[in-house]
Structure 1
Amino acid sequence: QPGTMSLQGAVRRSFVALRDQRAAWRSVLEECDPLMESLGNLGEQMNALSRVRVSDTPLRAFPDLQERLQFQLLQAVDLLLQRLRDRMSCLQSIRDSVGGHVSAALQLYQDSADGLDVAVATQRSSVAPSLADMLEWLQDAERFYRRQFLQRKTLLLTLRRDDRAQLEGAAKAWRSLDSPDAEQQITGEVITHLSHEPMAGRYYIKSASPICEMD
């Protein structure tokens, strides 16, 4: 059926795009990890500074030294938080791109629903999933990235520049949001299989360009 073939092509193109966005997502998260570690280091330095009484050391000859050091540390925290916000903008773009591809595939499915043979849509084989399976996987992927983005954005918004304990635990809290098993389940082998499967003529698609460039 022409409608079924068109829908299958759209779904497969969505999986190719999803594969590319998964790689971009991982790349951004890898850039965030050292930034979070640096936040923790600054939190430790701020903690150590708070325990020092400069007036009891030879450095008492330098007026306002402790305040100036604290100010420099806070400036460094602000810089890191801004860089993390920039990365969150990239993650948001990736999330939106995934959502756009999934919405387009679902819209095409709804437009084709009346003329779609249910038996054909649910037919699967040992080497190929059914159209219904693929649509469900796409929706799972969209929910995964939407939830991941919301959790990471919420964590970043709760970080306060002057909360030393919070800064020290930032990297651990960030890593706790990782869901490698869930990601593999919805975007791993299935995407690899579908995106490398030979496609005839009009179904072929090149890898998407990077959606966000980092400094």
Structure 2
Amino acid sequence: MSESPAILVLHQALQKSFQAIHQQQGVWQQALTDCKPLLSSLSNLAEQMQACQKVTFAHTPLRDFPDLEEQLKYKQRCAAEGLLEELGGKVADLQKVRDAVSGYVGTVFQLYEQHADVLGFEASVQRTAPHPSLADMLEWLHDIERYYRHEYLESKLLLLQIRYENLPDMQTLPRSWERILEHDSRSMVPDTLLKVSFLGTL
């Protein structure tokens, strides 16, 4: 593979980007992991809230406590708000990772564009058995960025759809979250980073 200054500059930039993404992937994975119990708690709370709505307190021994129903609903609403606030913080963590990765990828692509004329097409697509081409690695970065953008958007939209008026949907949140996590491309980032590590880029 050519050892031109442009090639060396791009390889260094790619190495830094993949190393940074490797660190960000840990933050991303932790945020996803933290969301799961919060969504389960919110689902359980929605079930309790729905059960409470079905009870006519005036027809039970609890009628002697006229403020109980209102107090219970208030406590449940406050608990739900607290869980949603925590979930919002986790989604904000996902957004930070998405933005950071977009920044890394944008920097590398900008650098490539600056050197594209000097490199030429042949140097960009040249690969050997142990080394992928620049085009290969740029495509990997693009795919990683697209994954983070897509997964963040799905996570954000899921939370935006939560409505207290639709408690049955709130109860299905854990299953909806699992569908996001079961996306076909979920292993793409770890697989790519593993592949890069074997090439000595990480």
- TM-score normalised by length of structure 1: 0.87
Per-residue deviation, residues 50-108 of structure 1 (Å, max 9, x unmatched) = 11122222111111211211111111111101111111111111000000000000000
Give the stretch that moved more between structures: 66-75 or 115-124.
115-124
Sequence identity of aligned pairs in percent?
A: 37
Aligned-pair CA distance for 1:165: 1.1
Please, which of 49, 55, 63 is the counterpart of residue 52 of structure 1? 55
Amino acid at match of 1:158: Q
Alpha carbons of structure 1 residues 184 and 126: separation in structure 2 relative to 1, 3 Å: farther
Q: How many residues align?
A: 199
Amino acid at match of 2:138: L
* Aligned counterpart, 1:17: 20
1:171 has 2:187 as partner = no
Larger relative contact order (Cα-Cα within 8 Å, sequence gap ≥ 6): 1
* Aligned counterpart, 2:136: 133
Identify, as 1 or 2, the structure richer in helix: 2
Amino acid at match of 2:196: L
The answer to whether the 8 Å contact 2:131/2:199 transfers is no
Mapped to 1, the partners of 2:198 and 2:130 lie a distance apart of 13
Aligned-partner SS, 1:89: helix
The answer to whether the 8 Å contact 1:121/1:131 transfers is yes
Mapped to 1, the partners of 2:197 and 2:13 lie a distance apart of 12
Aligned-pair CA distance for 1:196: 5.9
* Aligned counterpart, 2:94: 91
Per-residue deviation, residues 23-59 of structure 1 (Å, max 9, x unmatched) = 1101001000000001100010011111112222211
Mapped to 1, the partners of 2:186 and 2:13 lie a distance apart of 22
Structure 2: gaps spanning 5 or more residues: none
Please, which of 29, 34, 53 is the counterpart of residue 37 of structure 2? 34
Per-residue deviation, residues 163-190 of structure 1 (Å, max 9, x unmatched) = 21121111211221114541323x2233
Mapped to 2, the partners of 1:180 and 1:163 lie a distance apart of 25
The answer to whether the 8 Å contact 2:6/2:118 transfers is yes
Give the stretch that moved more between structures: 107-116 or 166-175.
166-175
Amino acid at match of 1:92: Q
Amino acid at match of 2:194: T
- TM-score normalised by length of structure 2: 0.92
Aligned-pair CA distance for 1:198: 4.2
Structure 1: gaps spanning 5 or more residues: 200-204, 206-215
RMSD: 1.6
The answer to whether the 8 Å contact 1:3/1:112 transfers is yes
Per-residue deviation, residues 108-132 of structure 1 (Å, max 9, x unmatched) = 0000011003222212223221110
Aligned-partner SS, 1:183: coil
Alpha carbons of structure 1 residues 81 and 94: separation in structure 2 relative to 1, 3 Å: same
